[in-house]
Amino acid sequence: MSLNSIFQYFVPKDKKFFPLFEQAGANLIVMAKALKESVYITDLSKRAELNKKIEDLEHKGDDITHQIHLELGKNFITPFDREDIHSLASSLDDVADFIQGASNRMELYKVQTPSQAMKEIADLILEATEHVAKALNELRDLKNIRNITDSCVRINSVENKADYIFDKAVSELFEYEKDAITLIKTKEVLSAMEDATDKCEDVANVLESILVKNA
Amino acid sequence: MSLNSIFQYFVPKDKKFFPLFEQAGANLIVMAKALKESVYITDLSKRAELNKKIEDLEHKGDDITHQIHLELGKNFITPFDREDIHSLASSLDDVADFIQGASNRMELYKVQTPSQAMKEIADLILEATEHVAKALNELRDLKNIRNITDSCVRINSVENKADYIFDKAVSELFEYEKDAITLIKTKEVLSAMEDATDKCEDVANVLESILVKNA
Amino acid sequence: MSLNSIFQYFVPKDKKFFPLFEQAGANLIVMAKALKESVYITDLSKRAELNKKIEDLEHKGDDITHQIHLELGKNFITPFDREDIHSLASSLDDVADFIQGASNRMELYKVQTPSQAMKEIADLILEATEHVAKALNELRDLKNIRNITDSCVRINSVENKADYIFDKAVSELFEYEKDAITLIKTKEVLSAMEDATDKCEDVANVLESILVKNA
């Protein structure tokens, strides 16, 4: 019996993991939208509100991760490998951590006017989380393997773009920014943002590995 | 047969893993005490001695982790899931690494007078490691699940406090510290300290996941 | 039946994993050689070429890791524990990431003249990757356990040396470097380099854990 047939057999019954992964994906989109809003404004008190909102959403994400772990503890049979469920939950958690980290650094460092690179990477984070959520919504029905693969390819492409923008921005920073403290602030916010897209790529890698095993 | 009954059956026989985890916990307390002593003094030669002591303790911790891995290799039957033993050992190792990292940065950066926030977080690291050690000592006898859960709740609360102190200190640093090199030094020592409490929280998460599976 | 006898039985048949690990090891040596060449020159355009080459090699390494994951998905029987194959592939990937990270930071930060410490650590990275590759080549034939253990001991010794050089260099940097931006640049390049040797040590740890289980 192929793994796939086992998989097909259990998928329709799973009421535990898929809804949780879908919630995690939806939560990341809301976080990424708040981050994007935050870098496009210069009103510090509004940004502080958004930071608080992102922090609350990050806690919500933690709760979802926690529930996935609880379900792993309670269920002997899972829709795909336990280690993959664990890796998928962890990588989604990491995306949330870095989105919140980027927002929190802007707050702590009192960044007044986010740079152009920050805006561009925030756009890309939102794009990446949308593809992540889309892929997670397709997981339930593995017949659409093509759609998941397609989302993974797009996530990789978004990460490459973010990488390129980050490198260019850091290079310019070291060339033109003479104030070391401003340089540190900008570099660290950009770095957390770029890490968020890296973690979306990790999600895509886990998803691809799930597809390979169950296709 | 419930997982718990299997567990109860093997627990009394395990002479390998529990003593090692108890040693790892005790070692973390000694490390945290040395770190606390170190941030409360300004005598650089005494601090250098403490740093050497912490380094030796970190090596001792590495040896304990190594022994846990050796036992995992040799024993087919373990008191709880192999992956949980692995994660628990790794997270304890990480706590030691960051305590040593904080101490080493103070040494390398020649920090003369540790800040108030460093003292407060060092206090919290000691508190967290005490709860970690207490929980590890209770592992042997899973009848006291309540005690372990209680320690985990306290570790989480300590981590939240450390997080708050860290954020406030970094925010003030970017507001008032005009010397970039001093800012880097202070921020990086605080950051290693805060990471140490984060890793205690990771220990608590692994412990909770062990409880869920075996309760 | 001991694990070892199972192991001996399957090893001669494995045509999938060993060649991939050998490729990964060989790739790390080429990367380390390019990094070493890069820190010994001051010609920025030649260094940019080497950075591009290292980036391409890092992608090649990613492809090898990806193939290992694909094989893990397709093969139920593996020459040693699935989790160890996974850990070994990840730690090799991490070595490549930090070699590329060090090279990329030199490029982004426009480091003109690499420091003496950078040269020394680059030498050590090459030495470490050579031991890593040697150990990976011996994996196929576990009769030479002694050779693998020997390589692991040497990797640990190289990592200790790199650690010592890094600590000394950072300490001197904070003592003598008055320009914060130069300090950041130098520290971050050194830090990525030192991390590369740390990750070689992680490879050695995984190898030792494989030996323990299969000896």
List chain C pLDDT tens, one digit each, 215 residues.
344 444 444 444 578 899 999 999 999 999 999 999 999 999 999 999 999 999 999 999 999 998 998 888 787 788 888 888 988 999 999 999 999 999 999 999 999 999 999 999 999 999 999 999 999 999 887 768 889 999 999 999 999 999 999 999 999 999 999 999 999 999 999 999 999 999 999 999 999 888 877 76
Contacts (Cβ under 8 Å, ≥6 apart) of B183? A181, A184, B173, B174, B177
Are the beta carbons of B180 and C175 separated by less than 8 Å?
A: no
Task: Tell me the mean pLDDT in the region A197-209.
Answer: 93
Where residue A110 falls (left for φ over 0; alpha for ψ -120 to 50; beta otherwise) is: left
Q: What is the mean pLDDT of chain A?
A: 90
ipTM confidence: 0.82
| pLDDT of B199 strictly over 80 | yes
pLDDT of the residue at C145: 86
Are the beta carbons of A108 and B171 separated by less than 8 Å?
A: yes
CA-to-CA distance for A49 and A116, rounded, in angstroms? 22
pLDDT of the residue at A74: 80
pLDDT of the residue at C11: 47
Sign of the C-alpha dihedral computed for residues B52, C153, C89 and A194 taken in this order: positive
- Which chain B residue shows the shortest CA-CA distance from A74? B213
Contacts of A159 in chain C (CB under 8 A): none
AA identity, residue C8: Q
CATH of the domain spanning C14-214, picked from 1.10.3720.10, 3.30.450.20, 3.40.30.10, 1.20.58.220: 1.20.58.220
Contacts of B83 in chain A (CB under 8 A): 83
pLDDT tens digits, one per residue of B125-180: 999 999 999 999 998 877 688 899 999 999 999 999 999 999 999 999 999 999 99
pLDDT of the residue at B209: 84
Q: Can you give the C-alpha Rg of chain C in angstroms? A: 18
| pLDDT of A10 strictly over 60 | no
Q: Which chains pack against B, by 3+ Cβ pairs within 8 A?
A: A, C
Question: What tokens does A53 get?
Answer: 């909102």
Are the beta carbons of B213 and A73 separated by less than 8 Å?
A: yes
Architecture of domain B15-214: Up-down Bundle (1.20)
More confident residue, A211 or A91: A91
Residue C99: closest CA among C3, C194, C174, C4? C194
Task: Tell me the mean pLDDT in the region B64-69.
Answer: 91
- Interface probe for A, chosen from B84, B145, B212, B214 (most Cβ of A below 10 Å), is B212
pLDDT of the residue at C215: 64
pLDDT of the residue at C83: 82
CA angle (B133, B84, C71) in 5-degree steps: 150
Q: Under an 8 Å CB criterion, which residues of B touch C?
A: 69-70, 72-74, 83, 104, 107-110, 180-181, 184-185
AA identity, residue A31: M
pLDDT of the residue at A52: 97
Return the SS3 of B126: helix
| Contact predicate B135/B204, CB 8 Å | yes
pLDDT of the residue at B10: 46
More confident residue, C12 or B193: B193
CA-to-CA distance for A105 and A112, rounded, in angstroms? 12
Architecture of domain A3-214: Up-down Bundle (1.20)
AA identity, residue A81: D
User: How many other CB atoms are there within 10 angstroms of residue A156's CB atom?
Assistant: 18
Q: What is the mean pLDDT of chain B?
A: 90
Most confident of A64-78, A183-197, B11-25, C134-148: A183-197
pLDDT of the residue at C75: 79
pLDDT tens digits, one per residue of A45-88: 999 999 999 999 999 999 999 899 888 878 778 888 888 898 89
